[in-house]
């Protein structure tokens, strides 16, 4: 058996097209085009690539690119002042602070200044609380993207055993909350889990977000399981994930590739969040 | 084998004595005695009993009882105004809105007015977010009380399999977060879980907070497991929990009784939270 490939590139394209239609409808209804303010501090080449992609896809979806660039040696007060300016600007629907920021800055303190309704990365404590309490709010993009993939491939979640490997604030923890909200029985594993393969083998849906290359092998996957690989590592032979994909593909029912799985979904959900934020701010939410 | 009885009454007394000493130290250090503002709306007899107990133990710990009583037909604006008054009052360290409020009131909207630093019940979205992100904050009293019991009885948590039955915002969800923060491998079960006994049998630590009398029987408990029963129901023969205690006591390693298990811990942790809140507000935190 070879696992079905979950094509994140194709799903992400459809999500972005949906967002583009939503933007057009918003404008046709008399609203303003959503504006995304990406904030890049310094000149890290990888961060520049990420931000450039976000800006390009933002424009392609019909949104305003309100990018701001700060010098790498900017002080905390000036960076905070920029966030405050964007928070107050009605043209700005969403604010995304590209991480990591240079070490001398307190990025948590900067994120805390982003109003919850403009927090399109879903990283603020306010949005984490809304998610934990099951209230409406902006969800972190990567876990939201995983949910969109699962839905697109009609993966049953209610009553399913879902196992999340990793407990980061950015991915693992919100992922568990989102799966729980869809009525899965959810287990969270991590570096202190005693027998990781045994726990993972219980999973009908296995989401691996540990940041450890090749952590999950064939022995950790139940036959027919849906496996989502959030990891991304640069190897000698290109990008690879947290899952030993060749071996796991022999037992899993479906598997996301790396690249082309979860990766493209993250930006797509950022755009979806920005549209949602604009609708709410303009009083035109569904 | 008969399970060791986890004596919540005794542990709660020790916690309250610790709080009493902490209050005395705070006052000796030049601080103000913490003030707890319980807010009771209407005359529900059960709520009156709960509030009376909280006030009595608050005074016994050396704190100020700043109780407020509103008539059952108070309107939303007046109730909100009282919360705002307490929020602004420096004598008030903690605000506890006794739930449920009469149906015509929006209790969520009232709770949302409680400043996070006075939210000694740990119910606000802000404190839920702090817990979800692993930041310091006031934790919900019942799950915090369960953690205190587990610690008092030296139950190993790091690497242990913990199963939480129930996913309420008040107990199940924060319970899972607290166990995860202590490095347990945590599974959350609920009404949609396919085979509840099977999942529960994995648990080294089983916390049952489903609100269903006798839900967890002997077949759902691994030999030697620690079982925490958060349920409380009035039966023909007194109070009973979510766990079939006689049968489970034969297999479990340790078990909380009902009454006298988790129940007394909830008020004890409320007092502990009020002391913590007062220390933080007065700039005298550890």
- CATH number, domain with residue A259: 3.40.50.720
Range of the domain at A169: 140-263
> Does A87 fall in a domain?
yes
Question: Quick one: A153 and A109 in the same domain?
Answer: no
Give catalytic status of residue A91 as yes or no.
no
Q: A126 vs B125: CB contact, 8 Å cut-off?
A: yes
Which run of H or E residues covers position B21? helix B8-28
Task: Show which residues on chain B lie within 8 Å of chain A, measured between beta carbons.
Answer: 124-135, 158-159, 161, 167, 169, 173-174, 176-177, 180, 183, 185-190, 192-194, 199
Length of chain A: 286
State the angle between helix axes of B8-28 and B45-60 in degrees (0 to 180), rounded to the nearest 10. Answer: 50
Q: Which positions of B are catalytic?
A: 54, 98, 121
Q: Do A190 and B183 touch (CB under 8 A)?
A: yes
For residues B45 and B81, state if they share a domain: yes
Give residue ranges of A with CB < 8 Å to any B CB. 124-135, 158-159, 161, 167, 169, 173-174, 176-177, 180, 183, 185-190, 192-194, 199
Q: Tell me how crowded residue B285 is: count the other CB atoms within 10 A of its CB.
A: 11
The reply to whether A69 and A178 lie within a common domain is no
- List, for residues A129-164, the tens digit of each pLDDT value: 999 999 999 999 999 999 999 999 999 999 999 999
Distance CA B126, CA B221 (A): 35
Looking at the domain assignment, is residue B225 inside a domain? yes
Query: Is residue A181 domain-resident?
Result: yes
Residues A108 and A196 in one domain: no
Residue A68 lies inside a defined structural domain of this protein: yes
Per-residue pLDDT of chain A (286 residues; tens, 9 = 90+): 699 999 999 999 999 999 999 999 999 999 999 999 999 999 999 999 999 999 999 999 999 999 999 999 999 999 999 999 999 999 999 999 999 999 999 999 999 999 999 999 999 999 999 999 999 999 999 999 999 999 999 999 999 999 999 999 999 999 999 999 999 999 999 999 999 999 999 999 999 999 999 999 999 999 999 999 999 999 888 999 999 999 999 999 999 999 999 999 999 999 999 999 999 999 987 6
- Same domain as B163, residue B105: no
**Claim to verify: residue A207 and residue A109 sit in the same structural domain:** no
Residue in A64, A118, A119, A121 annotated catalytic = A121
Question: What residue has token string 């129940």?
Answer: B263
Residues A55 and A162 in one domain: no
For residue A79, what is the domain's CATH number? Answer: 3.40.50.10860
Are the Cβ atoms of A132 and B173 closer than 8 angstroms? yes
- Determine the residue among B115, B128, B161 to mutate to test chain A binding: the one whose Cβ has the most chain A Cβ atoms within 10 Å: B128
User: Does B255 reside within a domain?
Assistant: yes
Collect all residues of chain A within an 8 Å Cβ-Cβ radius of residue B173.
132-133, 177, 180
Give a yes or no: residue A271 inside a domain. Answer: no
Determine the Cα–Cα distance for residues B10 and A282; give it in Å rounded to an integer: 56
Task: Tally the domains of chain B.
Answer: 2
């Amino acid at each position: 058996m070879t696992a079905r490939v979950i094509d994140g590139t194709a799903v992400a394209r459809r999500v972005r097209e949906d967002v583009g239609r939503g933007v057009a409808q918003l404008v046709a209804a008399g609203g303003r085009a959503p504006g995304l303010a990406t904030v890049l501090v310094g000149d890290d080449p990888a961060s520049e690539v990420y931000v450039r992609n976000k800006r390009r896809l933002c424009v392609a979806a019909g949104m305003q690119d309100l990018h701001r660039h700060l010098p790498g040696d900017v002080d905390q007060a000036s960076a905070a002042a920029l966030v405050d300016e964007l928070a107050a600007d009605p043209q700005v629907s969403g604010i995304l602070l590209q991480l990591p920021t240079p070490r001398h800055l307190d990025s948590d303190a900067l994120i805390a200044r982003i109003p919850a309704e403009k927090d399109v990365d879903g990283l603020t404590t306010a949005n984490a609380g809304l998610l934990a309490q099951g209230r409406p709010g902006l969800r972190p993009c990567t876990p939201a993207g995983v949910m969109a993939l699962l839905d697109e491939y009609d993966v049953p979640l209610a009553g399913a055993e879902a196992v999340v490997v990793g407990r980061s604030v950015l991915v693992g923890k919100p992922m568990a909350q989102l799966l729980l909200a869809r009525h899965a029985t959810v287990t969270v594993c991590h570096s202190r889990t005693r027998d990781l393969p045994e726990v993972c083998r219980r999973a009908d849906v296995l989401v691996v977000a540990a940041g450890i290359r090749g952590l999950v092998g064939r022995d950790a996957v139940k036959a027919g399981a849906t496996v989502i690989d959030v990891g991304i590592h640069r190897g000698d032979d290109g990008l690879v994930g947290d899952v030993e994909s060749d071996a796991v593909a022999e037992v899993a029912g479906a598997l996301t590739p790396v690249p082309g799985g979860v990766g493209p979904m993250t930006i797509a959900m950022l755009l979806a969040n920005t549209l949602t934020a604009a609708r709410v701010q303009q009083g035109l939410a569904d």
